[in-house]
């Protein structure tokens, strides 16, 4: 019951974040990548709902074959997720050369991750290697954004900057979940109590991620004279 309750909280957090993003983040001068985020989160919501349904079938009808479906679905989706977030950061960063490099990396990463999912690790478990690589790519791209922000000669109100909240959210989330998902296949042999506790941590991190996304969508509301922004 505990895990089901946490899943419910996670799904609710996604729904609220989607609603806030679609309703409140639609200014014409806003960043294209961040504008697309609420619609990508709709895909995230669908995946989470399907995953919850498949797990429920396993518990109620002992449909063991659903484990394979869940593995393939989450491996494929997280590969797409990393590529989308890299593209979004590419839209945020102002340096054209670095932005182009990140865009190329996002495409190349997706190809490598899909190959790993269907032909290497993903055949029998979680694609932990490409997840770890994706986490480092996201963190590295966000660090460059912060570096670019630090070197800028303009004055910024970080609290009112959506791109700042987005990069804080992504870097914090992936650096924190990196050791958990990077060792996911190894942790499968651990007792259920440890795995349940780790899942609780991941769900808490998910909720925090969507909370910071929501702040990014709302932080520019009711501002008549805003500070210069990189977003």
In this predicted structure, what is the pLDDT of residue 80? 97
**How does residue 3 score in pLDDT terms, banded at 50, 70 and 90?**
very low
Residue 87's domain comprises 2-218
Residue 230 within any structural domain of the chain = no
pTM as predicted: 0.90
Two structure tokens written together for 211: 């909370």
Residue 161 within any structural domain of the chain = yes
Beta-carbon neighbour count of residue 213 at 10 Å? 28
What average pLDDT does this structure show over 168-175?
96
Q: Is the dihedral of CA 79, 84, 87, 89 positive or negative?
A: negative
Residue 95 within any structural domain of the chain = yes
Residue 156 within any structural domain of the chain = yes
- Is the confidence at residue 29, as pLDDT, over 80? no
- Whether 128 and 185 have beta carbons less than 8 Å apart is answered as yes
The CATH code of the domain that includes 174 is: 1.20.1070
Residue 228 within any structural domain of the chain = no
Query: Residue 120 has what DSSP assignment?
Result: S
Residue 133 within any structural domain of the chain = yes
Query: Which residue did the predictor score with more confidence, 57 or 170?
Result: 170
Q: Distance between CA 126 and CA 48 in Å, rounded?
A: 16
What number of residues does the chain have? 231
State pLDDT tens for residues 128-167: 999 999 999 999 999 999 999 999 888 788 899 999 999 9
- Whether 130 and 116 have beta carbons less than 8 Å apart is answered as yes
What average pLDDT does this structure show over 199-214?
94
- Whether 157 and 226 have beta carbons less than 8 Å apart is answered as yes
Helix (H) or strand (E) holding 37: helix 32-61
- Whether 156 and 214 have beta carbons less than 8 Å apart is answered as no
Beta-carbon neighbour count of residue 22 at 10 Å? 16
Q: How far is CA 145 from CA 52, 93, 105, 112, 163, in A?
A: 35, 6, 16, 25, 9
Beta-carbon neighbour count of residue 75 at 10 Å? 23
- Whether 20 and 218 have beta carbons less than 8 Å apart is answered as yes
Place of tokens 């997706």: 110
Residue 21 within any structural domain of the chain = yes
The total domain count for the chain is 1
Residue 117 within any structural domain of the chain = yes
In this predicted structure, what is the pLDDT of residue 123? 80
- Is the confidence at residue 229, as pLDDT, over 80? no
């Amino acid at each position: 019951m505990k895990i089901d309750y946490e899943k419910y909280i996670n799904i609710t957090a996604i729904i609220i974040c989607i609603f806030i993003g679609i309703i409140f983040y639609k200014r014409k001068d806003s960043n294209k990548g961040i504008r697309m985020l609420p619609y990508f989160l709709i895909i995230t919501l669908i995946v989470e709902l399907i995953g919850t349904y498949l797990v429920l079938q396993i518990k109620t009808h002992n449909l063991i074959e659903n484990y394979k479906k869940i593995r393939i679905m989450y491996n494929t989706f997280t590969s797409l997720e990393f590529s989308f977030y890299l593209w979004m950061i590419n839209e945020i960063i102002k340096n054209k050369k670095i932005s182009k490099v990140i865009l190329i990396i996002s495409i190349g990463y997706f190809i490598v991750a899909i190959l790993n999912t269907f032909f290497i690790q993903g055949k029998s478990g979680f694609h932990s290697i490409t997840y770890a690589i994706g986490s480092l790519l996201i963190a590295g791209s966000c660090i460059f954004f912060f570096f670019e922000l630090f070197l800028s000669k303009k004055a910024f109100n970080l609290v009112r900057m959506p791109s700042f909240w987005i990069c804080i959210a992504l870097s914090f989330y992936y650096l924190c979940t990196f050791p958990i998902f990077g060792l996911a296949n190894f942790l499968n042999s651990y007792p259920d109590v440890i795995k349940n506790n780790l899942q609780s941590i991941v769900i808490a991190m998910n909720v925090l991620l969507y909370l910071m996304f929501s702040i990014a969508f709302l932080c520019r509301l009711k501002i008549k004279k805003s500070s210069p922004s990189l977003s």
